[in-house]
Structure 1
Amino acid sequence: MNGFQDYNMMKKIFFARFFALSLTITCTAQQYSKAKIDSMLTTLVNMHDSIPGKVLMKGKTCYTYAEKIDYKEGMIKSALVIGESYLTMGQYDIALEFANKAEKNAVGIKNNELLSEAFRLKGQCYETLSFFDIAFEEFGKALKAAGKMEASNDRFRQEGYIFSDMADCLSQNKKNTDSVKAYYRRSAYAFSKMKDDRIKRRNLSLVNANIGACFIAGKQYDSAAIYIENAVRLAEITQCDKAQLQASFNMGNLELARDNMQEAIVQYNYALAIANKFQRNALMSTMHSNLSKIYDKLGDKEKADYHFQKLISENSIVKQSQKKGLEKPTKELVRNTTQKFQQYSQGALISTISFIVLAVLLLARVVRFYRRAEEERQEIDKQKDRLKSKEELLEKAKKIEPVCLENVIRLAQNNDDSFLFQFSVLHFDFYEKITASIPALNLEDQKVCAFLRLGFQIKEIALITNVTVRSVEARIYRIRKKINISFDEG
């Protein structure tokens, strides 16, 4: 009897567990369905210009769901979203890792649109790391895959993106401005063939801003204004933050080139607010540098120093990201190249020699990158020292009498010992340039340079310093010889 009761109890437990397991599988299948993943990915695409960190977390969730049900297309799209977010945040090594995952899966399902996007993301990663030739090669692959896309509107959009990326790559690689402009115009032509919607206007705004930047580089400011004003108009229509950021930044550059300081400040501050929102540290660094120079010209020391400190901070963030992101892509390049040579080479000797040559080239690129980073660091250190020297001079000047042109001229006329110090406070940039670039000048030479800078005639200098006119002329001759200035120059 007891055995029968035990059997019934075990039967009930079995069916209860079976029902619970079935319910769990059903709920899981609903949670990780393709439709659910596609819906989440559509939302992420619409959040294209949102905060990278927010998009990144949702992208990782999509990738996890897609991987659980082996939904390859969902995995590819999620990997691209994650890679783009990491690229925006400056973590280029992780971005490249997800781009490679997307490429591998896209090849497997033979989806040309997603394969083109994967190649494009890889090109952007390599471009940011200054591997320009490899980046351009990846963009070429992306363009080839885009040409096989069936939907014409999607094909035009993708080609527009890729031509724009190619133009950016050439620009970063310091290539001819006309070549850069030509690729941007090909990009604009591709976008113009799309059906009219917000995406088309947004992309045309970005391309117009970049074409305007090319004209600024060529000092063709009227032509630049036409394109940048069009970019601003389209950005305002679409209300797209990325387009507004690029348009405002380039408008600031145009106003700065035209020497319209106040207008440049307005545009840069507007662009800075958007760049800060999306953590575009490299762009913020450039704008802080320009604002520091503008305020320095306008004589606003406090604001100039504020933006200079911000410049140092942003440069530090950018360099840390570049240094962190460089190691893995370099290893990845070596690994991929080794595999290619193993496949195509006919003998071990040829493969080894070829690998060594490529490794040397890669090493040269890495050395070039770090050398450039070191030069930038030294330049920032020089600027910091200059700022410190300027502050020390001004602090000393406060303890003496107020520094003004009349006082300096009066001290010069009296040949006062404190004249040179007061002059260095009033004309800091001139004095710093003389003492830094021409250390061979002695104290008397520096005084003569200061007298000339203040507009004194040779006879007046001779009278003040109690020497003959010929002695002053001889000293000026020696100074010019030291600094290699011809007698026809001022």
Structure 2
Amino acid sequence: MELTMKRFNVYLLITMLILASCSDRNNVSSGKERAGAGYPADTAYIHGILNRVKNNSFENADSALLYLKYALTRCNKVGYNSGKSEALFLTANLLYEQNKYRDALELYNQSLHLAEEQNDILLKAKCIERMASVNLATGDDHKALKLYYNALPLFEQINDKEGIAKVYNIIGLYKNSQRKFDTAEIYLAKAIQLNTEIGNTKGLIHNNGNLGYVFEKSGRFEKAEQLYKAAVALTEESGDSVNLPMLLSNLGSLYLKMGKKFDAMTYLRKSVSISEHNQDTSMLASLFADIGELYLDNRQIDSAVSFLNKSVFCAKAIDDPRTQLNAMKLLLRSDTMKNDFRNAALRFNTIGVLKDTVYARKLQHSLRASELEYENQKKSSLIELQIQDIQNSKQQKQLLFGLLLLASITVILLALVVVLRIRNNRRKQELFEENLKIKDLQIENSMQEDEINKLKISRIEEEIKIKEREQVSSALALEQKNELLSLISDKISETIRDTGSLDTSKLKEVVASIKTQLRNTSEYDLFNQKFNQLHGSFYSDLTDKHPDLTKSELKFCAYLRLNLNGNQIASIMSVTPEAIRKTRYRIRKKLNLSKTDSLEAYISSF
């Protein structure tokens, strides 16, 4: 028995040595085939396409994508992995520019895998940086920042200053969004220095514009003005008509903050002129809204309405509900200034619909980002499984080839080994597939639970919005009724004083009825009922902490909790604005608030 086992081990060792030598021969012969006479011509053709894409020599993106597809086919045919990885990267860039983030991310992953196999550090860094940009565009800022930090040491390893500057620029913007202005300034200054060294004008335009935005956000308007003007000058020199409208718009917004309305209007109109030439509808929607708001601040209502209507039209054309919502709010303000309450009411309803649309878009965007992340992880797992299957297939082919060479010596022994090995592999494959199915079922159950939770949250949020709208509508209706009754009462009283020929006794009865209606609390009780449904613990929490508040003061606090202003509360409670000011003073005193404390903010905390 021991002798048989020793012989078996010797045969197995000889078999493995033969298989290794056969594998080496196969690889050598395969390399010779790839380096045949047609190989240089194929690689030259592939490089020609890649260079044309890099130089933007094609008429449009679709033509470039078609030629890149040809290049990928040729790369697969001749086994040119270096060209394949570059073609995948350029294809992903074009898809990213078309906002096809899911397809772009998949190709970046494939290119990154090939770059790691070839130890191409520059391409690896570029892929990671582009993947970070995709995640940034889809709203996953945390993962995007992590990928940018992963790309940075790779760019530094090969001293790619353009790539380093690009990462510094993005990190600077992220720090600015976190209001870490000093850190943002340091990163952007480093980016400017690197782009200056390599003469990257396009990068300098972005860096100066972003650093100017940091200074603007931090209140350093003079420095922001200098940088914006420097960026505008560079853009005009380079003939970049795409970035110029944005820089002019930023400069106009800065002048508006500095109180230089004439300069602000000048730069905003320049930006409009260039955007109209570029047919940039998205930019025009924002610019028209800014100009309309500026006219509205100057009480030039007709001009403001004209530009705001243009903003709404452009926003609808590009399906941008957020910009449309901002323009509609300004139009509502203009209607209020003209006392056109009928149109104001219509716009108020439209604004409510747009708010729901914006929220739905945010929810859909978040869902897409989650789906993209899930698909990315799933495809990565599938790629690993495919690689493992390929390796298993190669091993089986090598084993069969070796068994054929030794069949004349140990046919029975090798046949037994093959049978046992095949059975073992099949069993492992079955177990692996069963585990994979179990994992897929677990993932599917988890996704269904997440979807149910999202639907529950969405339904609860929708119910809260409906109740808030009902409550505000009730308060506004009460305000309008009181204003009307007060106006009628004043007119009748004035008529009684001015004309002595009318039947004053009947008119006084009407006035008394109106005042009785003003003191009627049934509608207020209905308001309290709806308010308690939405803010059930408001009164109890407030009275527990401040038991000396009266019933009317609690009512006043409830109106503040709904974000109503003093004039609206005065109309609802049928009192004068002076009485409202006194009530606010008494409440602030009872709540022990200092002069710097906001009464509205304190009430909103309950």
Q: Same fold (TM over 0.5)?
A: yes
Partner of residue 4, structure 2: none
Does the 8 Å contact 1:52/1:85 carry over to 2? no
Equivalent positions of 1:139-158 (< 5 A) are: 139-149=188-198, 152=199, 155-158=200-203
Residues 456-480 of structure 1: per-residue CA shift (max 9 Å, x gap): xxxxxxxxxxxxxxxxxxxx6x665
SS in 1 for 2:516: coil
- 1:380-435 CA distances to partner (integer Å, 9 max, x unpaired)? x99987633233357889xxxx959665533673343323679x99xx9xxx9997
1:227 alignment partner in structure 2:
267
Structure ID, larger Rg: 2
The residue identity in structure 2 corresponding to 1:302 is N
* Partner residue, 1:22: 30
Pairing of 1:359-438 with structure 2 (within 5 A): 387-393=469-475, 409-410=487-488, 413-414=511-512, 415-419=514-518, 436-437=559-560
* Counterpart selection for 1:175 from 186, 211, 219: 219
Aligned to 1:299: 345
Task: Give the structure 1 partner of residue 110 of structure 2.
Answer: 61
Paired residues of 1:211 and 1:224 also in contact (CA < 8 A):
yes
Residue 81, structure 1, aligned to residue 130, structure 2: yes
Alignment partner, residue 461 of structure 1? none
Shift of the alpha carbon at 1:109?
0.9
The aligned residue for residue 170 of structure 2 is 121
Asked whether the 8 Å contact 1:208–1:231 carries over to 2, the reply is: yes
* 91, 94, 98: which one aligns with 1:50: 98
Partner residue, 2:257: 217
Unaligned residue ranges in structure 2 (runs of 5+): 1-14, 35-74, 297-303, 337-343, 369-462, 491-510, 528-554, 563-568, 587-606
Provide the secondary structure at the position in 1 that maps to 2:145.
helix
Distance 1:410 1:395, change over 3 A: closer
Structure 1 equivalent of residue 355 of structure 2: 308
Give the drift of 1:204. 1.4
The separation in 2 between residues aligned to 1:419 and 1:24, in whole angstroms, is 99
**AA at the equivalent of 2:487:** I
AA aligned opposite 1:51: N
* Kept after mapping to 1: 8 A contact 2:293/2:330: no
Moved more, 66-75 or 229-238: 229-238
Partner Cα distance (1:438, 1:16) in 2: 79
Choose between structure 1 and 2 for higher RCO, CA contacts under 8 A separated by at least 6 residues: 1
Bigger mean CA deviation after superposition, 57-66 or 135-144: 57-66
Alignment match, 2:67: none
Q: Which amino acid aligns with 2:472?
A: K
In structure 1, the partner of 2:209 is: 164
2:310 counterpart (251, 257, 266): 266
Deviations 1:316-353 (A, max 9, x none): 789999xxxxxxxxxxxxxxxxxxxxxxxxxxxxxxxx
Could you tell me whether the CA contact under 8 Å between 1:80 and 1:121 is conserved in 2? no
Read off the aligned partner of 1:305 and give its amino acid letter. Answer: G
The 1:37–1:231 alpha-carbon spacing in structure 2 relative to 1, beyond 3 Å, is farther
Moved more, 64-73 or 265-274: 265-274
Residue 135 of structure 2 contacts residue 141 of structure 2 at CA under 8 Å; is this kept in 1? yes
1:254 to 2:267 alignment = no
Describe how 1:91-106 pairs up with structure 2 within 5 A: 91-106=140-155
Check the 8 A contact 2:205/2:231 in 1, yes or no: yes
The corresponding residue for 1:349 is none
- TM-score normalized by the length of structure 1: 0.59
CA distance in 1, matches of 2:202, 2:474: 56
- Kindly provide the amino acid, as one letter, of the partner of residue 212 in structure 1: G
Structure 1 residues 274, 67: closer, same or farther in 2, change over 3 A? farther
Contact map agreement 2:168 2:188 (CA 8 A) in 1: yes
* Residue of structure 2 in register with 1:333 after alignment: none
Measure how far apart 1:159 and its partner are.
1.0
> 1:145 and 1:267, CA in 2 relative to 1: closer, same or farther beyond 3 A?
same
Specify the alignment match of 1:371 in structure 2.
none
1:95/1:125 contact within 8 Å kept: no
Alpha-carbon shift at residue 286 of structure 1 (Å)? 6.6
TM-superposed CA distance for 1:104, in Å, is 0.9
Query: Residues 188 and 293 from structure 1, CA distance in 2 versus in 1: closer, same or farther, beyond 3 angstroms?
Result: closer
Q: CA shift at 1:246, angstroms?
A: 3.5
Aligned to 2:139: 90
Instruction: Provide the residue aligned with 1:458 in structure 2.
Output: none
Task: Summarize deviations over 1:77-118 as a string: whole Å, max 9, x none.
Answer: 222222222222221111112212221111111121111112
2:515 alignment partner, SS class: coil
Give the total of aligned pairs: 362
Equivalent residue number for residue 332 of structure 1:
none
Displacement of 1:179: 2.9
1:184 aligns with 2:266: no
Amino acid at match of 1:105: L
SS of 1:417 mapped into structure 2: helix
CA contact (8 A) 1:211 1:227 kept: yes
Q: Taking structure 1 as reference, are residues 15 and 32 closer, same or farther at Cα in structure 2, changes over 3 Å only?
A: closer
* Aligned-pair CA distance for 1:214: 1.5
Given that 1:272 and 1:287 are in contact with CA atoms closer than 8 Å, whether structure 2 keeps it comes out as yes
Q: 1:41 to 1:190 in 2, by over 3 A?
A: farther
1:207 Cα deviation after fit:
0.8
CA drift at 1:436: 3.4
Unaligned ranges ≥5, structure 1? 1-6, 277-283, 322-380, 440-444, 454-475, 486-490
Shift of 1:202: 0.8
CA distances 1:11-55 after superposition (whole Å, capped 9, x unpaired): 9x9599927983799566956644444444445555564216244
Tell me which residue corresponds to 1:204. 244
- Contact 2:308 2:330 (C-alpha < 8 Å) held by counterparts: no
| Aligned mates of 2:178, 2:80 — CA distance in 1 | 36
Secondary structure of the 1:141 match is helix
8 Å Cα contact 1:289/1:308 also seen in 2: no
Identity of counterpart residues, as a percentage? 12
* Corresponding residue for residue 439 of structure 2: none
